[in-house]
Amino acid sequence: MDKTETYIKMSDCPEIQARSPHVHFNYFAGPKSHTIYYGGIDVIETNYIWLPRQDDLQKMVGKYPVVFEKFVNEVGINDFNYGLEEMFEWGLFEEYSNSTSMEQLWLAFVMKELYQKQWDGTEWKEIKE
């Protein structure tokens, strides 16, 4: 589970926070210190940031195996014998090159598929075609 400052920033957007299940056994980051909490937090009454797990992100864009096939085709992964770091070094992800974890990669995929936005390293920007 990605608990980095970058992933917290990426997750802290209205599109993702609106999808928070508001139930126990989720990861949250504190509003100021970004201390990571696991469990139930009433995020409606606080400024805690929900950190979606990879399975949460996958559910947002469809059902397995259809969503997995679409993801593989989109990011260009065709050989799972290599690590994520190697794939980034080889430039296999191009527009997803700011991602450093599978959660970040899936979040970037969700934001592109559902909201036509791309992470620029600092914030989500609309993709202009």
pLDDT, one tens digit per residue, over 4-56 is: 999 999 999 999 998 887 666 678 887 777 777 777 655 555 678 889 999 89
Residue 32: which domain range? 5-126
What is the spatial distance between Cα 38 and Cα 24, in angstroms, rounded to a whole number? 8
pLDDT, one tens digit per residue, over 82-93 is: 555 555 554 444
How wide is the angle at C-alpha 64 spanned by C-alphas 63 and 70, nearest 5°? Answer: 90
pTM of the model as a whole: 0.72
- Residue 128 binned pLDDT confidence (cut-offs 50, 70, 90): confident
Domain count, the chain: 1
